[in-house]
Structure 1
Amino acid sequence: MTRALRACLAAVATLALLVGCAAPGASDPVTPSTGIADDRPLAELDLYPDPRTVEGPSTAVVADAEITPIADDPVQTLPATVVSHDPGGDREVRVTDTSRVLALDLAGSLAATVWGLGLGDSLVGRDMSTTFPGTEDLPVVTSGAHAVNAESVLALRPTLVLTDGTIGPRDVLEQLRASGVTVVFLANEPSFDGAAQLARDVAAALGVGELGERLADRITAEVDDTIAQIAQIAPASDDAKLRVMFLYLRGGSGIYYLFGEESGASRLITALGARDLASELGWSGEVPMTDEAMIAADPDLILVMTDGLASAGGVDGLLAAKPAIGLTTAGEHRRFVDMADGVVLSFGPRSAAVLDALARSLYAAP
């Protein structure tokens, strides 16, 4: 994912109720309406006879946004020497003090991982995308453009900053190092395997390597189990599968991008038992949306971020601004599923919960 675009990706999002629809007839289009989130297993839900006929937008919400730590009182082994993947090249970094930690990235994945390892009490601040329960009172050290404010960071007296390079500017992070703060750049691939590896890497930097393996195993097991559950409710044949695209929106800035391979969206869509049209069309990374591309793809359903959709004026505003979207099957059915900006692509300890919530919006009638 390009740095310029990733600088727009995460924003504080407000959770809404999961919406769906009443039980449909066998062939009639159905329309989602406001309802209460259903905590039954996916296989026990009232499923749409054909998810391609559903009409109207819905919001996917993680039923339980809390992150359960893998351990309550972790025992750390410090100092720890790790490889920092700096923008200028790899370097070894020695971590000696993790008493005051800042974990900063666009999606909030790093802070979520620190919390999942049982070291949430060490966090002294947060980025804008770290919104899970327990972090509400932490001071925010990134601006609306997801830039780190050096003065705000130094005021918190951090002993360790963990980042993946998706926020900056770079000279601020170098300024922190020059002031004596230990800074470690971690690789953060937007995927389920990447989430497991991030657990290992964060754990290594915090001196709890064994807990990193345990958290990675838990993430993998939960994701695999959820994908297996989704496979039981999603159409099996390619012809019957939902044809989905992920559209990134910042309406006020006139930004409309289609997310393809390497963005994380394709892994999310295929895990949901749907067809990722961007990958099928050979698009990699982020591609500016064109009318021709959207009409040619003709998705059944469009995934969007909640704040992104709001920035475009909701479904009505988006269809008015981009009439070509209205010519697709998704546009004609107004079939948009939105999810909080700081959640939908935040691969980490909540990956399975994100999949579960999206599956409910795609396939189930509450």
Structure 2
Amino acid sequence: MKLTGRARRLGLPVVLAVALLTGACGGGTSVSGGSDASPASASERAAAAEKQLAKNTLVPLEGEPPTPELPVTVDSSDGRKVTVEDASRILPLNGGVAEIVFTLGLGDRVVGRDITATFAEAEDLPQVTKAHDVSAESVLSLKPTVVLADTDTGPGEAIEQIRDAGVPVVVLDPATELADVTTRTTRIAEALGVPDAGQALNVRMSDELAAARAAVPEGSRPKVAFLYMRGSAAVYLIGGKGSGADSLVEAAGAVDAGKEAGFDKPFTPITSEALVRAQPDVILMMTKGLESVGGIDGLVRIPGIAQTPAGMNRRVVDLEDGVLLGYGPRTPLVIDLLVDRLHKT
């Protein structure tokens, strides 16, 4: 398995500033439009989040959809200056980016999707990726007026072909931690000429995240190991520093077991020694990954798993692949679920 770019290597859609991590602790049970003044328990918030995620739909900003004010010239993460003159036909080449565009209220302008855009609003759009490679021909056939990509999007030849056809391509840095959410939202909103909507979305997510973190029980600091597994491909990895999951685990008031054990790479092959070193209280996985090894029964048969506190107690938390590391508007819902599930005894 080639670990070159997190979005491509995990097959996931792959941003909330540090201020979101330390923001005010007010909040309510609302999971879709900010928070009210009354506190809510972790279980109440998790129930609401689970219900919303089960719908697999997005909650756009309240009010009328914003009208892009163009042209704008923005910085692209590939070192270019890109001028966007028309946002009538938007094509995001990343699922998390697509979620932001839809939540900003611009979903009716989106003309296609990549394979990682798995939410309901995007399911009927034409897909322009094969596996996780972009097809330039498919993109150009949709006549986009602006394409949003990230530095993991490829192959590079396809991006160049799209750009050579005269389509503005704005490249964004991948989201690898919670602190990237606001930056990414701001950059997308600016590129599409709706900066005020971007600011409003950041405020909403900040409120939601602060409310989720307010529900973390005092004195609870479970050690959580994120395991990335694809049983059919014999891929068994434990997350460490920079896996993407470490930021989520810490935001939910827990300790990333791989990071604490000194795994300074995003992913390390699982061995009995690595698991003994990490000693997680809870294992966090993506749902398809857990299914690929035969569920919890199959997981605990993997050498070393049963010897960890998590394995002995069968403490496994799984979340849908397209949501867990999406780092978009639904990330506060992920934190709501993790706050509840990681701290249960």
Retained in 2: the 8 A contact 1:260–1:278?
yes
Output the CA distance in 2 between the equivalents of 1:302 and 1:217. Answer: 31
The residue type equivalent to 2:247 in the other structure is R
- Give the structure 1 partner of residue 251 of structure 2: 271
Corresponding residue to 2:77 among 80, 85, 89: 85
Retained in 2: the 8 A contact 1:60–1:339?
no
Corresponding residue to 1:173 among 150, 159, 163: 159
CA drift of 1:247 comes to: 0.6
Are 2:303 and 1:303 aligned?
A: no
Are 2:192 and 1:200 aligned?
A: no
Retained in 2: the 8 A contact 1:45–1:364?
no
Corresponding residue to 2:228 among 248, 269, 284: 248
Corresponding residue to 2:240 among 257, 260, 281: 260
Report the aligned-residue RMSD.
2.5
- Give the structure 1 partner of residue 21 of structure 2: none
- Mark the runs of 5 or more structure 2 residues left unpaired by the alignment: 14-30, 32-38, 45-49
Q: For residue 304 of structure 2, give the secondary structure of its aligned residue in structure 1.
A: helix
CA drift of 1:44 comes to: 7.1
- Give the structure 1 partner of residue 141 of structure 2: 155
TM-score by length of 2: 0.84
- Mark the runs of 5 or more structure 1 residues left unpaired by the alignment: 13-38, 47-58
CA drift of 1:103 comes to: 0.9
Q: 1:69 to 1:3 in 2, by over 3 A?
A: same
Q: 1:224 to 1:116 in 2, by over 3 A?
A: same
CA drift of 1:64 comes to: 5.3
- Give the structure 2 partner of residue 3 of structure 1: 4
- Give the structure 2 partner of residue 17 of structure 1: none
Are 2:40 and 1:62 aligned?
A: no
Equivalence map 1:19-168=2 (5 Å): 43=41, 45=43, 62=53, 65-70=56-61, 71-86=63-78, 90-105=79-94, 108-144=95-131, 146-168=132-154
The residue type equivalent to 1:134 in the other structure is E
Instruction: Give the fraction of aligned pairs with identical amino acids, expressed as a percent.
Output: 41
338-347 or 328-337, which deviates more? 328-337
- Give the structure 1 partner of residue 310 of structure 2: 330
Output the CA distance in 1 between the equivalents of 2:261 and 2:60. Answer: 40
- Give the structure 2 partner of residue 317 of structure 1: 298
Retained in 2: the 8 A contact 1:61–1:339?
no
Q: Which is richer in helix?
A: 2
336-345 or 274-283, which deviates more? 274-283
Q: For residue 119 of structure 1, give the secondary structure of its aligned residue in structure 2.
A: helix
Output the CA distance in 2 between the equivalents of 1:63 and 1:204. Answer: 31
CA drift of 1:63 comes to: 5.1
Q: For residue 196 of structure 2, give the secondary structure of its aligned residue in structure 1.
A: helix
Are 2:337 and 1:357 aligned?
A: yes
Output the CA distance in 2 between the equivalents of 1:314 and 1:325. Answer: 13
CA drift of 1:65 comes to: 3.8
Q: 1:168 to 1:294 in 2, by over 3 A?
A: same
Q: For residue 154 of structure 2, give the secondary structure of its aligned residue in structure 1.
A: coil
Output the CA distance in 2 between the equivalents of 1:273 and 1:73. Answer: 35
Retained in 2: the 8 A contact 1:60–1:357?
no
User: What CA deviation, in whole Å up to 9, does each residue of 1:31-52 have, x standing for no partner?
Assistant: xxxxxxxx9x852749xxxxxx
CA drift of 1:153 comes to: 1.5
CA drift of 1:327 comes to: 1.4
Retained in 1: the 8 A contact 2:224–2:281?
yes
User: What CA deviation, in whole Å up to 9, does each residue of 1:151-183 have, x standing for no partner?
Assistant: 222221212110112231111111111122211
- Give the structure 2 partner of residue 346 of structure 1: 326
